Amino acid sequence: MITQSLWLSAILFGLGVAGVVFRRNAIILFMCIELMLNAVNLAFVAISRSVGIDGQVFVFFVMAVAAAEAAVGLAIVISVFRHTESVDTRDFNLLRW
Amino acid sequence: MIELLWWVFAALAIGGGIAMLMSRTPIASLLFLVLTFFSLSAIYVLLGAYFIAALQVIVYAGAIMVLFLFTIMLLNLGHDYRNDLRGAGWIIVAFTTAGVGAWAVSRAFGVEGALVDLGGAERIDAAVTELNAVGAVAMPLFRDYVVPFELTSILLLVAIIGAVLLAKRRV
């Protein structure tokens, strides 16, 4: 079950990457980043079945970073929305080039 | 039985992920993401990580998802039907590159026998029976990882201050 879990983790991470590439809604981009962090968590838990409890301790840290990232990222989305009245990345590409 | 349940929840997780990417409204995406998180929590239980499974439900499906939901409702995006998908070519390219990357990574680790079994499962199960599910994680956390744990609290403090400052109207 460890090896299948690693496969599942890789597939979920790939889904997150694909979402970041082809969606343009900033909130859904953040959801895809959360999905990628979850895929990493799954890999940590799966490997902890082979290496030891340290994998699960690392999952704890990843969750703390994910919570901080979601809070700050959504605050940025709110302040961008005040300027452009939109969360579509096509509408705030001012710093792109 | 455990194997069968694993496959059911893995299918739910992947299905929820794909549905999240493909649904047009942010609310539907969010609910499919919650489905993925719950299935991952069930998979953690099947892998014997009971405390992590509880944390997954409380932190992800509870706190972070409520934060997303508040933002969507605060910005009134529930009926935002402007199409934000890139063209079909982009979707195909994205899925192909992500699939090839996932295949390459999981080929390195996912082959049967590629992982050296260091007896982690037996040690974790022994620790869970001795110290309970929480204690098994808390003991190494407060013994070997005290400094990272304290740094995590500083990170969360900085995130709180940053979020308040960024979302405030005037600084």
Q: The domain spanning residue B10 has which CATH number?
A: 1.20.120.1200
Residues of chain A contacting B46 with CB distance shorter than 8 Å: 1
Q: What DSSP string describes B79-133?
A: T-----B--HHHHHHHHHHHHHHHHHHHHHHHSTT-S---SHHHHHHHHHHHHHH
Kindly state the DSSP code that residue B60 receives in the 8-state scheme: I
Residues B42 and B7 in one domain: yes
Count of structural domains within chain A: 1
Whether A19 is in a domain gets the answer yes
* pLDDT of A89: 79
| Residue B20 shares a structural domain with residue B68 | yes
Q: Does B49 touch chain A (CB under 8 A)?
A: yes
Whether residue A10 and residue B110 make contact (CB cut-off 8 A), yes or no, is yes
Q: What is the model's pLDDT at position B113? A: 61
Q: Indicate if the pLDDT at residue A50 is higher than 60.
A: yes
Do both B99 and B157 map to the same domain? Answer: no
Contacts of A59 in chain B (CB under 8 A): 49, 52, 55
Count contacts between A and B (CB, < 8 Å): 241
Rounded (to 5) percent helix, strand, coil in chain B: 80, 0, 20
What per-residue confidence (pLDDT) applies to B114? 61
Q: Which two tokens stand for residue B118?
A: 């260091």
- Give the pLDDT confidence score for residue B75 in this predicted structure: 82
Minimal Cα–Cα distance from A2 to chain B, Å? 8
Measure CB to CB from residue A2 to each of B26, B85, B115 and give the nearest one.
Answer: B115
Listed in sequence order, the residues at least 6 apart from B62 whose beta carbon sits closer than 8 Å to its beta carbon are none
Asked if B78 and B93 sit in the same domain, the reply is: no
pLDDT given for residue B79 in this prediction: 65
Residues B26 and B80 in one domain: yes
Q: Are residues B31 and B65 in the same domain?
A: yes
- Does A97 reside within a domain? no
Predicted complex ipTM: 0.89
Q: Which positions ≥6 away from B120 have C-beta within 8 Å?
A: A48, A49, A50, A51, A52, A53, A55
In this structure, are B65 and B12 located in the same domain?
Answer: yes
CATH of the domain at A30: 1.10.287.3510
Q: How would DSSP label each residue in B136-149?
A: HHHHHHHHT-HHHH
Residues B108 and B37 in one domain: no
Name the residue range of residue B141's domain: 119-171
Q: Which among A25, A47, A55 has the least Cβ separation from residue B84?
A: A25
Neighbouring residues of A94: CB distance < 8 A, sequence distance ≥ 6: none
Whether B129 and B162 share a structural domain: yes
How many structural domains compose chain B?
A: 3
Whether residue B100 sits in one domain with residue B22: no
Please give the residue that has the higher pLDDT: either A9 or A97: A9
Provide the domain limits for residue A35: 2-92
So what's the pLDDT on residue B81?
63
In this predicted model, what pLDDT tens digit does every residue of B80-112 receive, in sequence order?
566 777 777 888 888 888 888 878 877 776 666
Same domain, B123 and B109: no
- Cα dist from B90 to A19, B85, B97, whole Å: 11, 9, 11
Both B129 and B163 in one domain: the answer is yes
